[in-house]
Structure 1
Amino acid sequence: MTRTQWASRVGEGDRPASPAGRTAVGIILNPKHPATLRAYAELVPELRNTGAHYRSMTTSVDRSGRWQAEQLVKWGADIVIILGGDGTIRATAPVLAEADILTFLVPTGTANVLSRHIGLRSSRHAIDHCKRTIASIIRDGYPPNLRNVPINTAEYQTADGARHRTEFISLAGIGGDARAVAHHHVSLGLLGYAWGAAQALVAADFTASTGDTASMRDAARAEDTASTGEGTDSGLVWSVMASKVARPAGPIAVFPEARIDAPTFSMLTVGPFPHSPMARCRAWAGIAAACLQGRPEAHPLMNYRRTTETTVTVEYPVPAQLDGDLIGDCLELRVSAGEKTLRVSAPAS
C-alpha cells in the first residue's frame, strides 16, 4: 500500500462523537515519516483494547496540525495523541494548551527533542505508555505523571520587512545553529543534522545586538544569580540561542541548566570565532572538549545567562529557527517565555 493510499484509509475506525461516559481520544499524525505509519498501526489495536473511542486526523503541507487540533477539540476529545516530531507538536500545542486537553506524544520525527526530555525513549515505549495510562484513566479517572510544558512566543521580522508572531516549545536560535538546520538532509535522519552542523561550523560570524529588558533580567537573576549574566550585548557572534532543553541534538548537554518546564530560558551566545581556519578549528575542539566534560560554560566562547525575554537584532538577514524548523532569514528575533502550558503525560521517572 502506498503512503497516499494508507493516509486515505486512516480514520476507518472513526465514529460520531463519543457517547456519554466513554473516553474520547483524538489522534493527530504526520504521515511524512514512515515511522508514523508503523506506530499508528501498533497504536490503534492498543486503544481498542482499552475501550477508548478514537478519531484520527492526518497533517498535510498546508495544514500542519493546528487545524486538526481545532477539529478534535470541537469533536470533544478528552485526550489527544500526537504521532510526529517537534514540528507537529509545535503546530498543535497552542490549541491543545488553550483547551486544556491532556496530550500524549509518540515520537516519530527525526530529533524528537521534547519527547526525549520527558522520558520517552522510543515510539514503542511511548505506545506502551499510552496504553497503560489511558487504561488507568478509564479505570481510575485521573491521569498520573503530568508535565506542564510552557508554550513560548516568538516574534520575528523577515528579510522583506514583514513581522510575524508564532509559538514554539523548546528551542529558538538565529545564526549558526539555524544554518545547520538549513543545510541538513532530511533523508539522512540525525546524520543529516550532523552534516548540516559540520557545514555551519565554518559559517562567518555576524553582528548582533542582544537585549533583555531590565525587569526580565531581574526575574532571571532572582532565580539563579550565579548563572545569569548581564543580558545585554552587541558585537560579532556565531549564534544566539534560547533553550528550554538540555540536549537539543544528540546526547551532549549543551544547555546543562535548561529545563523543559522552567519559567526561564537558558540563553547561549557563541563566538566570536578567530578568522584563521586553524585557530577556528582549535576553538571548536575546545568547545567540544568542554561539552564532553559536562562544563560547556567553562569555555570563553560559550556565554550563558537566564532570562524570560530577549530580542536579537542583526545588521543583515540571518537564518533563524524554531524547534529545529527553519523560519527563514530574519532581521530580528524576539522570544518570550510562555505562561500558557500544555499538559503532557510522561512516563514515571
Structure 2
Amino acid sequence: MSSQSQTQGAAESAAHSPGRRAAVVINPTKKTDVDIRALVEQVCAGEGWAAPLWLETEADDPGHGMAKQALEEGADVVIAAGGDGTVRCVAAELAGTDTPLGLLPLGTGNLLARNLDVPVDDPEGAIRTALAGTERRIDVVHVKVDEAVDSEIFLVMAGLGYDAVMMGDTNTALKDRVGWLAYVDAGIRNLPGKPVKTMISIDGGKPFSRRLRSVMGGNCGKIVGGLEVFPGAKIDDGLLDIMTMAPKGRLGWLSVVAGLLRRGKGRGTAVEYFQCRSADIWADSPQDFEMDGDHLGSATRLSLRVDPSALRIRMPHGKKDPAILTNPEP
C-alpha cells in the first residue's frame, strides 16, 4: 500500500473513532443564514465526535492565538470557519504539525476551498468534509515582506501591484450584495495606472528587470469565477509559480488578456510565467500588497519560499482536479 493510501486510510479510520474532538476557529463577523455553532455541534454528535472546542477570532488576533490554543488542547482537527484571512492565519500555526486543517468557508472569495472542491455554499457538507474527508499534504509559501524578520504564509496567491490595488479598493457594500463580482468593478476602475520598475530573482539567480503593473506568486491556479490565473500550478508539487503583467500603451490590457488566454505562451511579454522554489522581488517604490485576497498594506520587497507538503488538509472524497493536485485520484 502506498504511503498516500496509508495516510488517507488512517485519517478515515480515525475520523470515526469515539471521543475525537474538533476545534473551530471562527470569525464571528461573518454573517450566515444558519446557526453555524449549532450545526457544527449537531454534525459532530452525529459522527460520534465530542463537543467541539469553539474559539472566536478577535480584532487584534485574526486566528493565530486561537489555532495555537487548539493545538495545545490536542484538537484532532482544526476547522477554520471564515474567509481566506482566517484560513491563512490558522494554517500558519498548523503548518509543520501533524494536526490537519478543515475548511468551513464563510467568506466571499474562499479561494483555497474553491481550489480543493470544498463546498462553499453547503456548510453541513463542509463540516462533514472537515471531520471525515480524505486527507492530503499540500505546500505552503513563506513570504517575508520588506525587512521583516519573521515570515507569513499564503496558500493560494500573493501579489504586489494591480491585483492588490483591486483587492484594497473593492466596495464592501457592493461585495455584500453581489459577492466576488465586486472585484470586477474594482478591477475596471483601477485599469489606468503606470508600470513600476521591478527586479526579480528566480531561485537565487541573477536579477532581471521588468516594468510591471503587477507581479504575483501562486501556489495553485484558480481564483473566483473559475479563472485559472496560474496554469499548471499545483498545490502539492513543491513549486512556486510567478506571473508578471506588463500592459503597454493604450491597448496594453488587451495584450494581457491575450497572454492569459495563451497561458503565457508566445513571444509577447505582457504576461510571463516562471516556476521556481524561491523568488525575490523588488519594486522601485512601495506597491499595494495582498495575500490570498486580503489587502495587507504596501511593500517594496517580497521574498518567497515554498515549504513542500507542510500542511495536512481535509478535502472531499472523489477524484480531484488534475490542474490543482499532482495525484487527482481519491
Match of 1:185 in 2: 171
If you compute each CA radius of gyration, which structure gives the higher value, 1 or 2?
1
Say which of 105, 110, 113 aligns to 2:111: 113
After TM superposition, give the deviation of residue 290 of structure 1 in Å.
Answer: 5.1
**C-alpha contact 1:246 1:259 (8 A) present in aligned 2:** yes
Q: TM-score if structure 1 supplies the norm length?
A: 0.77
**C-alpha contact 1:171 1:248 (8 A) present in aligned 2:** no
* Matches of 1:321 and 1:146, distance apart in 2: 28
Identity between Structure 1 and Structure 2 (%): 23
**After alignment, is 46-55 or 191-200 more displaced?**
191-200
Match of 1:336 in 2: 305
After TM superposition, give the deviation of residue 261 of structure 1 in Å.
Answer: 1.6
Say which of 235, 250, 272 aligns to 1:303: 272
Instruction: Report SS of the residue matched to 2:237.
Output: coil
Match of 2:41 in 1: 44
Match of 2:19 in 1: 22
**C-alpha contact 1:30 1:36 (8 A) present in aligned 2:** no
Structure 1: runs of 5 or more not aligned: 1-19, 137-143, 218-230
Say if 1:38 and 1:300 are closer, same or farther in 2 by CA, change over 3 A.
farther
Say which of 26, 32, 37 aligns to 1:35: 32
Match of 2:95 in 1: 97
* Matches of 2:56 and 2:311, distance apart in 1: 21
Normalized per residue, the structure richer in helix is 1
Matches within 5 A, 1:1-349: 22-35=19-32, 38-53=35-50, 54-124=52-122, 127-131=124-128, 134=131, 145-157=134-146, 165-187=151-173, 188=175, 189-214=179-204, 232-274=207-249, 279=250, 282-289=251-258, 291=260, 293=261, 295-298=263-266, 300-339=269-308, 341-347=310-316, 348-349=318-319
* Matches of 1:210 and 1:115, distance apart in 2: 30
* Matches of 1:297 and 1:43, distance apart in 2: 46
Structure 2: runs of 5 or more not aligned: 1-16, 320-330
Say if 1:131 and 1:247 are closer, same or farther in 2 by CA, change over 3 A.
closer
**After alignment, is 296-305 or 205-214 more displaced?**
296-305
**Misfit runs of 4+, over 4 Å:** 161-164
After TM superposition, give the deviation of residue 283 of structure 1 in Å.
Answer: 2.8
Say if 1:55 and 1:171 are closer, same or farther in 2 by CA, change over 3 A.
same
**After alignment, is 49-58 or 37-46 more displaced?**
37-46
Say if 1:258 and 1:36 are closer, same or farther in 2 by CA, change over 3 A.
farther
Match of 1:228 in 2: none
**C-alpha contact 2:138 2:308 (8 A) present in aligned 1:** no
Q: TM-score if structure 2 supplies the norm length?
A: 0.82
Instruction: Report SS of the residue matched to 1:255.
Output: coil
**C-alpha contact 1:253 1:294 (8 A) present in aligned 2:** no
Alignment length (residue pairs): 296
**C-alpha contact 1:242 1:265 (8 A) present in aligned 2:** yes
User: How well do the aligned residues superpose, as a CA RMSD in angstroms?
Assistant: 2.4
